[in-house]
Amino acid sequence: MKTVYAIIFFLLMQPAAILHCRQVDSTAVMSGIQGADMTLYAIWTKNKDFEKEKAIDCAELFLSRIDTSAHNIYLAHMYDYVSQWYEFEECLFSKAISYREGSLRQYTAIGDTHSQAMSESILGRLYYKKGLYHKALEYTYSAMELFTKTGSQKDIMDCNMMLGAIYKICNDIEKSDKCYQEYALLAEKLNDSLGMAKNINNMAALSFNTGDTARAIRLLLQAIDYSENVADTEELCTIYLNTALTYIHMGLYEKAESCLERARPLSNGIYEKGCWYAVYGQLYYNKDEKAKAISYFNKAIEEYGKGEFDRRISQLYEILNYLYQSSGDTINAYACLQKMYDYWTPESNNEIMLELFRAREEIAINSKDMLLKKEKDRRKTTILASVSCTIILILSIALVMKKKTYEIKNREVAVKNQQRLTEERKMYYLRMDNIINKATHDLLKICQGIKNGKTREDIMAVCTELSESNNKDNMEDMGNFMYEFDNDFYRKLKKQYPSLTVNESRICVLLNKNLSTKEISEITRQSPESINLARYRLRKKLGLTGKGMTIQDFLNNFN
């Protein structure tokens, strides 16, 4: 039982031990950075999950002091933390962008492709919130390319959502619809309920822009059901506000107010509260209750003023200017007009933004086309290289096979030649035996009829000599030169002079060994006169008659 408790205690302690090791590792890494204040880092680490404002102050101070050339994963996480705070808690998108670009530099330097893509995707979202749609397009396209390489379907889906929103606000409805369709397909493939809810909300917004308010309402109610099931309060708040705006446009003010009341408890952030007040102001504006409309629009401006929503604030002051003018309040109308221009920036000029967006889109499309062309060229090169390698391989195999076939044929010819020469040698030995035996037999018969003793002794001596000459040693003398008929010399000679007889070829082989006429005579059992006659005929056949070259010198050319 004690062993069981010990194991359970060990397992419970493991996460804490691992966390401690990681903490020690991060501290060791961060302390090696020039300018790193480890006291600030320790305070940030301790408070980042609880006292976030205190943690943010320490993180910003820490990052401002370190060597800008330092790169590691812990620095990237700190940049992410600060960027996320400014985006969602403070809605200060310029600062969020600055820190997010810092994390992007870190992830790029350490080679973390997925985190690099995530940072680019978030920068696309931040620039969209800032109203810099050309920059949003640039970063979102770049992120999508990286996500495509890593195969992250969920993140590709989110990029399609962002692109759809960018194209929609820049009045390219066709491309926006295409991006939303891609988003819907991926959401369905991944069985992402929240993704499907967002897609329905987007489709409703497109229907509203094209004037089909009835379809927009149907889709929004469907999106509300999806969002309530997944309990995403932020998305549900957005859908309620969109539904309220659609009802306002249709003149169904009670239903619009009902949606706004449902959205009230869900409007927790700066952006959500600002939107809630702005939609309520629009409700009273449409109902021609100017005083209430002015009140709610001012409250919306107050909320938006807590963050970076200059474009929205400028638009609201423009509406307030009109309301004050129509009410005869020229002083406040002028004040709103002045504030409208105070908040005006080049970014808030829609025409300028659209022009920048179109230019950036054209660059992105051209870049995409170039990438596609490079990919096609790469594939062509790969195919050509593969085909070339295959052809070379086939040719190499064919050459090897041809060489082997040639060698096999040569071996077969050599074997046949050897067999033929062996048979000729056997026949030669047999003939020589027969000739010698017959000559000996005939001489012995003659010897029987001769009375003269001296003559008989001479004949018997000849018979003895013939018998002795027909022994194995003399036969082997001839055999020693038989292998010479199966070499390069013999083949070259026969190739150039195919009309040579077997006897002439044999004499050429023996002459090539620098044997004298007498030696050849003894080996071939022919008289020296026969050998000389054969040599004379051979010189004539070889075209050496009248030339000062010996047969041996001539035959050396074939060695």
Does the pLDDT value for residue 161 go beyond 70?
yes
* Long-range residue pairs from 199-207, CB within 8 A, at least 24 positions apart, any chain: 199/161, 200/226, 201/235, 201/238, 201/239, 201/242, 202/161, 202/164, 202/165, 202/168, 204/242, 204/246, 205/168, 205/242, 206/168, 206/173, 206/176, 206/177, 206/180
Q: Which of 70-84, 251-265, 352-366, 396-410 has the lowest mean pLDDT?
A: 352-366
Number of Cβ within a 10 Å radius of residue 345: 13
Is 49 in a helix, a strand, or coil? Answer: coil
Report yes or no: 524 and 509 within 8 Å, Cβ to Cβ. Answer: no
Residue 485 confidence (pLDDT): 56
Nearest to 128 by CA among 119, 118, 140: 140
Percent of the chain as helix, strand, coil, to the nearest 5: 85, 0, 15
- Assign 203 a pLDDT band (cuts: 50, 70, 90): confident
Higher-confidence position of 12 and 393:
393
Which pTM does this prediction carry? Answer: 0.60
In angstroms, rounded to a whole number, what is the distance separating the alpha carbons of residues 246 and 206?
Answer: 12
Residue 203 contacts residue 219 (beta carbons within 8 Å)? yes
CA 179 to chain centroid, in Å, comes to 26
Q: Confidence band (pLDDT; 50, 70, 90) for 39?
A: very high
Residue with the larger pLDDT of the pair 502 and 465: 502
> For residues 485 and 421, is the Cβ–Cβ distance under 8 A?
yes
Q: How confident is the model at residue 362 (pLDDT cuts 50, 70, 90)?
A: low
Per-residue pLDDT tens for 426-460? 777 677 777 777 777 777 777 767 777 777 777 77
Q: Which of 2-6, 37-41, 351-355, 401-405 has the highest mean pLDDT?
A: 37-41
Lowest mean pLDDT among 80-84, 88-92, 465-469, 492-496: 465-469
Surface-to-core class of residue 507, CB atoms within 10 Å of its CB (0-12 exposed, 13-18 middle, 19+ buried): buried
The residue type at 521: S
In which element (H, E) is residue 306 found?
none
DSSP code of 141? H
